[in-house]
Amino acid sequence: MKFSSIYKIPLLLFFFITLAVSGQIKNPVKFKFTINELGDNQYEAVLNATMESGWHIYSKDIPEDTGIPTDYKVSGKNIELIGKFTEVGKKHEEFSEAFGGKIIFYSNTAGFKQKFKLKDGTKPGDVVAEITYQTCDDRVCLAPNTLEFNKQVTPKGAAEEVKTDEKTTAKDSLQPVVDTLGNVVQTAVPTAETQKLDPKNLKIESINFQKPLTDCGTGASKISENYWTYLLLGFIGGLIALLTPCVFPMIPLTVSFFTKGNKNPAKGKRDALIYGFFILLIFVLLSVPFHLIDGIAGNIFNEISTNVWLNIAFFIIFIFFAGSFFGYYDITLPSSIANKSSKAEEAGGIIGIFFMALTLVIVSFSCTGPILGSLLGSAITGSANVPMLLTFALAGFGLAWAIVFGLLALFPQALQSLPKSGGWMNTVKVVLGFVELALALKFLSKADLVSKTFFIKRELFIGIWIVVAIGLAIYLFGLIKFPHDDKKPKISVTRKILGVLGIGFVVYLVQGLIPSDRPKLQLLSGILPPLNVSYFHDEKDGILGMHPEHDFFTAIELAKKEGKPILIDFTGYGCENCRKMEEFVWSEPDILPILQNDVVLASLYVDDKEELPEDQKTKVDLGDGQVKKVKTIGDRWSLFQQVNFNNNSQPHYVLLTPDGKVINTPVSGYMEKEKFKKFLECGVNYYKQNK
């Protein structure tokens, strides 16, 4: 059974993720909100948009499934709408090959109008306008955005009845004024000393991370992404993909074409090397869209990577990939794509070689798609620097193929030593299917953590992996079969060795089911649920015997009372490096006492989707009359981190005095115990000596 159209699921997911991944904020559309008086107690709420050159926003009348239509809503006290909103401006209509239909949009300028009247023409009305829109240019689209605008309309003769404090209420509710880069440009926020009772204030004036009280312990701050790890993972993935039925049989055919089908052997080898280079180039080019996307707020990637529905989608896709590897169906790109690429090979020369490489990548999608999807999923949910991680991972993947094809072209006699095609290739695919099943659970677990349902306890997660590992082992020993397996498979020595390793992995996992005061299964740290999400522990009991505060302002009060510095731990339910720090650095005997006795620990979850109480919800003024709502606990602490520390990575550690001053340079990421210890001891000792 083939599902040639199902390829759209991972590709569409890839498309929408690329639209949302960026660390630089871009704002190509500016809005101006005005209210026009029409007479006879009628008014018009007008929102005018001005777009930078090359950018456009869609019309409200855009056809279904061809983009996100602009939606403009007006509401407020003492307001009654008249009809529906209208658009003003020069509409453009074009056929979009990407959407397969007509798109309608505005460029340069556009206007949105909504008529209304005051229910009581003698009293003022508070007008709230909200617009949801998507901005695109000829190569990228920015994530949909929703902005709110507020104005008060006062009928003639009623101005004297309006109280001064009522006029300023809307303005005063916008606590920190932040520009589009997240920098505070205007604020009247008090320091931590006077801010303790107002959690709406996100900017703490006393915090200046660029001028800490001391410079000791800064060596731990130089933490960078482990790009080489992803290069290695991609390389291993590429080697594994070469062993699959979609690719392996093509190796001798392709190499022979260059070495024997060419009258000039030297030219044939040169062309083969160029062919390998183009394979590498094509895989690297797959990461380019991630680098081209601009214009998303600094915390958007974290919101995406910890989104419950996105992680559930990854779970479903990985299960789907597993079914394909097991042989129940094939995931293929439309044959028309491969046909067009094959025809382009006839161009000859370097262009023809490029399209030969492209054809190889396309026709092998059935086997490589799930492996590439796994790399994509790991990068998307594992780090904030997705573009570079994917570039290194895909470069590693393509490098493996380029090396194999290139070396065999230079030394064609090595073809004789390659194993013959056979049932062993299907065994490779089935093994990958079991790996996909195991990885799928990681995404479901993350969705469970972020939603705070905590159904998938640590022991349940381990138990499911044990079942998967046992299934893999008994398959390798030939006790179960899948659709494309030989009826009487020969159990090779390699299969038996891998089966024994599978049993060994089961034994390793079993120790994680035994209660212990010390963390176990270090190899799976960051993949498993946290230590306190367990049948043997209550998540309310804290972690490692500690009960971190989850509110900065509560931590400030406690720090003043106990005379201790505050350790802010910017963390997340979906943060793998955070779990690794907790389990294998915090738990160390020379680290844990410092955390337990010498600091007030404030763990602030930036991906907490729980809504704030109504009296704690607030808005952030982005300038130009644009407002960003802070609705959830995660919204609050994510913005708090960006506004005060110009950082959006997790884990991120900051030591503060009780009056809100940064003690030493903050540090980020997973780090060795000695570096984290140096950071802690530096700050704690300085505070004790100078308090």
Q: Is the pLDDT of residue 75 over 60?
A: yes
Q: Which residue has the higher pLDDT, 332 or 190?
A: 332
- The pLDDT score that the predictor gives to residue 165 is 34
Region 589-594: mean pLDDT is: 90
Looking at residues 658-681, what average pLDDT do you find? 88
Which has the minimum average pLDDT: 167-176, 322-331, 421-430, 576-585? 167-176
Residue 193 or 658, more confident: 658
Q: Mapping DSSP to helix (H, G, I), strand (E, B) and coil, where does residue 74 land?
A: strand
Look at residue 258 and tell me whether its pLDDT is greater than 50. yes
Residue 434 has pLDDT above 50, yes or no: yes
Tell me if 155 sits within 8 A of 124, measured CB to CB: yes
pLDDT in tens, 142-164: 555 678 888 888 887 654 443 33
Q: What is the pLDDT of residue 12?
A: 38
CA distance linking residue 573 with residue 575, whole number of Å = 6
Residue 258: what residue type? F
Euclidean distance between CA atoms 113 and 124, whole angstroms:
20
Complete DSSP assignment for 608-665: --PBPPGGG-EEEEEETTEEEEE-BHHHHHHHHHHHHHS---SSEEEEE-TTS-B-S-
Hey, what domains does the chain have and what are their CATH numbers? 28-174 (2.60.40.1250), 218-223+541-690 (3.40.30.10), 227-416 (no CATH)
Q: Is the pLDDT of residue 301 over 60?
A: no
**Listed residue (664, 517, 515) closest to 599, CA to CA:** 664
**Cα–Cα distance, 277 to 270 (Å, whole number):** 11
Sheet holding 91-96, edge to edge: 91-96, 101-107, 56-58, 135-136
How far, in Å, CA of 340 to CA of 338, rounded? 6
* Cα–Cα distances in angstroms (integers) from residue 445 to residues 141, 277, 322, in the given order: 30, 39, 18
Residue 383 or 223, more confident: 383
What tokens does 275 get?
Answer: 């062919």
- Model pLDDT for residues 22-55, shown as the tens digit of each residue: 333 456 788 888 999 888 889 999 999 998 877 7
Question: Quick check: 328 and 433 in contact, CB under 8 A?
Answer: no
CA separation for the pair 329, 222 (Å, rounded)? 47
pLDDT of residue 624: 52
Nearest to 469 by CA among 440, 410, 527, 509: 509
pLDDT attached to residue 468: 94
Question: If you average pLDDT over residues 208-214, what whole number do you get?
Answer: 86
pLDDT at 113: 93
pLDDT band for 386, please (50, 70, 90 cuts): low
Give the pair of three-digit tokens for residue 674.
């000695």
CA separation for the pair 399, 406 (Å, rounded): 10
568 band by pLDDT with thresholds 50, 70 and 90 = very high
Task: Flag the least confident range among 134-138, 181-185, 384-388.
Answer: 181-185
Q: Does the pLDDT of residue 463 top 90, yes or no?
A: yes
pLDDT tens sequence across 355-371: 777 777 776 766 676 67
- Could you tell me which residues are beta bridge partners of residue 111? 48, 88
Query: To 10 degrees, the CA torsion angle through 235, 236, 238, 243?
Result: 150
671: amino acid identity, one letter: M
* Least confident range of 119-133, 253-267, 545-559: 253-267
Angle at alpha carbon of residue 620, lines to 616 and 626, rounded to 5°: 135
User: Which two structure tokens, joined as six digits, stand for 87?
Assistant: 């658009």
Q: Please state the length of the chain.
A: 691
Query: How is the beta sheet containing 145-153 ordered, strand by strand?
Result: 71-77, 125-133, 145-153, 626-630, 618-623, 174-178, 184-186
Supply the mean pLDDT for the chain. Answer: 75
Of 8-17, 229-238, 379-388, the range with the highest mean pLDDT is 229-238
* Helix, coil or strand: residue 406: helix
Q: Provide the percentage of residues in the chain whose pLDDT is more than 70.
A: 70
pLDDT of 13 above 50 = no
Alpha-carbon distances, residue 591 vs 537, 676, 681 (angstroms): 22, 8, 9
pLDDT tens readout for residues 437-456: 988 898 888 888 777 787 88
User: What per-residue confidence (pLDDT) applies to 259?
Assistant: 61
For residue 105, the model assigns a pLDDT of: 86
pLDDT band at 178, cuts 50/70/90?
very low
Which pLDDT value is given to residue 6?
37
Give the best-scoring range by mean pLDDT among 51-60, 195-204, 462-471, 485-494.
Answer: 462-471
Six-digit token string for 63: 């056809």
Helix-helix angle 8-20:308-326, to 10 degrees: 150
Tokens for 566? 């505050």
Percent of the chain with pLDDT over 90: 14
Distant-in-sequence, close-in-space partners of 582: CB < 8 Å, separation ≥ 6: 530, 531, 543, 544
114 has pLDDT over 90: yes
Minimum mean pLDDT range among 82-96, 224-238, 469-483, 557-571: 224-238
Could you tell me what percentage of the chain is helix, strand and coil, using 3-state DSSP and rounding each to the nearest 5?
A: 45, 20, 35
Q: Rounded distance, CA 247 to CA 425, Å?
A: 10
Once rounded to an integer, what is the mean pLDDT over residues 610-636? 74
List Cβ neighbours of 500 (8 Å cut-off, separation of 6 or more). none
pLDDT of amino acid 331? 66
Which alpha helices (DSSP H) does 477-568 contain, by range?
Answer: 493-510, 552-562
Is the pLDDT reported for residue 623 higher than 50? Answer: yes
The pLDDT confidence band at residue 176, using thresholds 50, 70 and 90, is very low
pLDDT of residue 24: 36
pLDDT of 376 reads: 65
Q: Considering the entire predicted model, what is its pTM?
A: 0.52
353 vs 140 pLDDT, higher one: 353
Confidence of residue 276 (pLDDT cuts 50, 70, 90): confident
Question: Averaged over 505-529, what is the pLDDT?
Answer: 80
Q: What is the DSSP letter of 294?
A: -
Residue 510 has pLDDT above 60, yes or no: yes
Q: CA 193 to CA 318: how far, in whole Å?
A: 50
The model's confidence at residue 628, banded by pLDDT at 50, 70 and 90, is low
DSSP state of 415: G
Per-residue pLDDT, 333 = 52
**pLDDT of 671 higher than 90:** no
**Type of residue numbered 661:** K
Q: Distance between CA 678 and CA 662 in Å, rounded?
A: 16
The residue type found at 417 is S
- Per-residue pLDDT at 335: 55
Element (H, E) at 56: strand 56-58
Q: Is the pLDDT of residue 61 over 70?
A: yes
- Collapse the DSSP code of 118 into the 3-class scheme (helix H, G, I; strand E, B; otherwise coil) and give the result: strand
